[in-house]
Amino acid sequence: MRFSIELKFVSPKAKPVKLKIRYQEAFLYLLKSGLSHVDPNLFSYLYRKNTPKLFCLAANFPDATFYADSITLGEKNNAYWQLSTADAKLGLSFYNTLMYLYKNGPWPFGKCLKVMFGSPFQIKEPVIVTNEIKVKTLSPLVVRKDKRLFLSGTKDANLEQFNQVLQGNMQSRFKNYYPKEISHMIENMTYLPIKTRKTVIKTFDINIESTVGVFSLTADPVLLSLLVKNGLGIRTGSFSGCLKVIH
């Protein structure tokens, strides 16, 4: 299940709205606030302990201008979220959360801003029947080798190492939730960059090397569907790893 929702920001000043470049924490606070009211048990399960997130998030800022420490929103002062998961029960809880945010706004955002949510709508997802798909990132792909080392998947990277680490990241996320057959499929998964570049996510209190752009994934169609719906890589619950199939 995949949903999109518009956020409109309101400022008491006539100037264009500016957000911090590290917007993820504030956005997650809104999502958590809604979820804690709608489904307290799910909120506790996801956020009271280090639970792998079987969903992904993306944020888009139409016509925005990005600076080193801030984002100046476009003329409409809006943004969009996408939220995707392969778990129908989880998806329903998130839909109800988005509806709660929509019906109970506006919500305070930072010291001066307020944000209003539009009504969420479901995005039709493609049925994957082939062993190879071309995708583009809706939020940066984060692949972690260890606690301090993150890898980017560009054409000049060590792709053998990148694939091994990416497979390990996915094994860690999926191993307790899907059958062993999925684990075997992950072992044969291949990432190949097409038009990618390295970028740095400024999130929370750290800077993370990551990848944006277009790449191909080769794997069993069952696994490919799970990767697209749940997100690829790690930190997918923090606005990373959300993909869109383009071919």
pLDDT digits (tens, 9 = 90+) for 92-136: 999 999 999 999 999 999 888 999 999 999 999 999 999 999 999
- Predicted confidence at residue 187, as pLDDT, reads 98
Q: Which two tokens stand for residue 93?
A: 């809880």
Q: Are 192 and 155 in contact (CB under 8 A)?
A: no
- Predicted confidence at residue 202, as pLDDT, reads 84
User: How many separate domains does the chain show?
Assistant: 2
pTM above 0.85, yes or no: yes
Residue 42 CB coordination number (10 Å): 16
Q: Which segments of 1-140 are extended strands (E)?
A: 2-10, 18-20, 56-60, 65-66, 70-72, 78-84, 107-109, 113-117, 121-122, 132-137
Are residues 114 and 139 both part of a single domain? no
Q: Are 208 and 26 in contact (CB under 8 A)?
A: no
pLDDT beyond 80 at 205:
no
* In 21-125, alpha helices (H): 24-38, 40-47, 88-103
Are residues 28 and 69 both part of a single domain? yes
**Which among 31, 36, 58 has a CA at the least distance from the CA of 48?**
36
Model confidence over 26-74: pLDDT tens digits?
Answer: 999 999 999 999 999 999 999 988 899 999 999 999 999 999 899 999 9
Residue 215 CB coordination number (10 Å): 23
Q: Which two tokens stand for residue 34?
A: 């809604």
CA 235 centroid distance within chain? 8
Q: By residue range, what is the domain housing residue 241?
A: 132-245
Are residues 20 and 118 both part of a single domain? yes
d(CA 32, CA 60): 19
d(CA 7, CA 217): 31
Q: Read off the CATH number of the domain in which 111 is found.
A: 3.30.70.1890
Residue 127 lies in a domain: no
